[in-house]
Amino acid sequence: MCYAIPAKVVSIQDNFCILDYFGEERKALLDIENVEVGDYIYAQGGISVRKIPHQEAAAVLATWQDIFFELKKTDSLLSKVDQEKLPANALAVLQKINLRQQINKQEMLSLLTLNTANELKVLYELANNIRQREHGNASCVHGILEFSNYCGQSCWYCGIRQEREIKRYRLTPEQIIAAAQSAVDTYGFKALVLQSGEDYWYDINKLTAIVQSIRAMGVLVFLSIGMRSIDTYQKLFTAGARAALLRFETSNQKIFHRLKPGVDFTERLELIKNLKKIGYIVATGFMLGLPEESAEDLVNNIALTQYLDPDMYSFGPLIPTTNTPLANQKKTHKDDVLKAIAVARLANPKANILVTTALETLDHNTKQEALLAGANSLMINITPTEYRDLYEIYEGKNKNLEIGSSIKNTTNLLYTLGRAPTDIGLL
Ligand code: SAH
């Protein structure tokens, strides 16, 4: 079982290499030593993470050889758009995108007002078509390990906010490393997201040790630990972390300051920008359906994500959770999230757009619908099952599906849609 197809290095220039996947080329940052043209490596999110022996690569490639071209065919078939059926406003947008022109906020707003089943179908098809044009059938699957639900913050939406009375847990560095090792050895993950509340029990020494050990397993270490100092993030980059997820949550500063008491919007934004400057692959985005949010706020959220120019877009619906100040907030409709994914894709054709677990929580089929509406990346929960229920940032999140079954479901889904885990590459 593996979540990355081995790539052959076809050329090297400075810090970058060009990789070949069955005739498709992608660019990646060279982050491992002693790589030469002709070598085989695994890359994740445009970063090379591990060199592998030729024999091992040949064996894995042989298992992919036959299905790879089948998958591409399926994906091409599924990403066709019948232009004849397009409503006039969608056609105008398509023409702009085909000319590689940027769509403006007004156009985004008008796409977000599409509502009939037929209009939505066309919108999603259009977004899927652009996803295919930019990324081919490449998809990306990361494992996520939720290692602590202790949190020093009081975010109104969040089920692990410090005021909420829940059973707290914290994995020791040894437990985290063991869980990561099992995800890598047993299940073949090549990228691991380490997520937690803002838990300062993990000081820089503990975090450094964790990052170093996991990086040494030959995988991409992806942090989602909230706001830490630039110095901490710099040290963790040096220790081997290469990606970070930090959402700005909402572009509306008034809403932000109400829902994240004690946190400064500008400071969070600056941190996101600095992560990029340090060299991290950055994932950022927002929540949909916060109280008092307007359609303009949603467009501004997409525009702010675009402005921050992240490597990965991560946004999902707010899931109202009991015993939080937003417990009674209306649930976001699935189509509103799918529309946002589609519009984000059309506004930024090259984006990597993640299907978030909150979206999956809305109903069981949304993963597939999101992948057909412009999204191209997924995450699989690898948190040990005894802790999974406790990491309840929102209700209904944890289905306690054992890792092997989640992987099977995800691979089946990707195959059905004709997607292959060739690396999504650098833009
Ligand atoms: N504590 C870290 C990371 C963990 S939370 C941080 O703050 O960055 C990860 C994301 O979950 C948050 O950024 C937020 O957007 C989302 N989230 C939190 N509560 C949620 C809820 N009730 N519904 C949907 N998403 C939620």
Residue 248 token pair: 């700005």
Mean pLDDT on 227-238: 98
Q: How far is the CA of 159 from the centre of ligand 1 (A)?
A: 9
Contact 191, 423 (CB under 8 A): no
Distance, in Å, from the CA atom of 426 to the CA atom of 295, rounded to the nearest integer, reads 31
DSSP letter (8 states) at residue 191: E
- pLDDT at res. 150: 98
Distance, in Å, from the CA atom of 424 to the CA atom of 338, rounded to the nearest integer, reads 21
Q: How far is the CA of 274 from the centre of ligand 1 (A)?
A: 20
Single-letter residue type at 60: V
Q: Which atom of ligand 1 is nearest to the CA of 319?
A: 23
Q: How confident is the model at residue 266 (pLDDT cuts 50, 70, 90)?
A: very high
pTM: 0.92
- pLDDT at res. 425: 62
Q: Among 37-51, 68-82, 346-360, where is mean pLDDT lowest?
A: 68-82
Pocket of ligand 1 (CB under 6 A): 157-159, 195, 197-198, 224, 226, 246-247, 249, 287, 316, 318-319, 321, 358, 393-394
**Residues 337-395 pLDDT 10s:** 999 999 999 999 999 999 988 888 887 788 999 999 999 998 888 888 888 889 999 98
Give the total residue count for the chain.
427
- pLDDT at res. 320: 96
E strand or H helix at 277, and its extent? Answer: helix 265-278
- pLDDT at res. 424: 62
Q: Is 267 exposed, middle or buried (0-12, 13-18, 19+ CB in 10 A)?
A: exposed
Contact 144, 380 (CB under 8 A): yes
Q: How far is the CA of 164 from the centre of ligand 1 (A)?
A: 15
Q: How far is the CA of 340 from the centre of ligand 1 (A)?
A: 18
Q: How confident is the model at residue 427 (pLDDT cuts 50, 70, 90)?
A: very low
- pLDDT at res. 396: 82
Q: Which atom of ligand 1 is nearest to the CA of 393?
A: 19
The protein residue whose alpha carbon is closest to atom 24 in ligand 1 is 318
Mean pLDDT on 210-215: 98
pLDDT value at 1 more than 60: no
- DSSP H stretches of helix in 282-383: 295-308, 334-347, 357-362, 366-371
Q: How far is the CA of 30 from the centre of ligand 1 (A)?
A: 31
Contact 102, 330 (CB under 8 A): no
Contact 212, 256 (CB under 8 A): no
Q: How far is the CA of 2 from the centre of ligand 1 (A)?
A: 28
- Please report how the helices 88-98 and 105-112 are oriented relative to each other, as an axis angle in degrees rounded to 10: 140
Residue 168 CB coordination number (10 Å): 14
Mutate which of 156, 162, 247 for ligand 1 pocket (most atoms within 8 A of beta carbon): 247
The protein residue whose alpha carbon is closest to atom 12 in ligand 1 is 247
Q: How far is the CA of 40 from the centre of ligand 1 (A)?
A: 37
Q: Which atom of ligand 1 is nearest to the CA of 358?
A: 24
pLDDT value at 289 more than 70: yes
Q: Is 30 exposed, middle or buried (0-12, 13-18, 19+ CB in 10 A)?
A: middle
Q: How confident is the model at residue 112 (pLDDT cuts 50, 70, 90)?
A: very high
The protein residue whose alpha carbon is closest to atom 8 in ligand 1 is 226
Q: How far is the CA of 318 from the centre of ligand 1 (A)?
A: 9
Q: How far is the CA of 393 from the centre of ligand 1 (A)?
A: 6
Which range is most confident: 29-38, 68-77, 139-148, 207-216? 207-216
- pLDDT at res. 255: 98
Percentage of the chain with pLDDT > 70?
97
E strand or H helix at 40, and its extent? Answer: strand 40-44
Q: How far is the CA of 160 from the centre of ligand 1 (A)?
A: 9
Mean of per-residue pLDDT scores for the chain: 91
- pLDDT at res. 411: 86
The protein residue whose alpha carbon is closest to atom 11 in ligand 1 is 393
- pLDDT at res. 4: 79
**Residues 175-206 pLDDT 10s:** 999 999 999 999 888 999 999 999 999 999 99
Mutate which of 207, 248, 287 for ligand 1 pocket (most atoms within 8 A of beta carbon): 287
Q: Which atom of ligand 1 is nearest to the CA of 246?
A: 8
Mutate which of 393, 397, 398 for ligand 1 pocket (most atoms within 8 A of beta carbon): 393
Q: How far is the CA of 202 from the centre of ligand 1 (A)?
A: 19
- pLDDT at res. 86: 72
- pLDDT at res. 93: 80
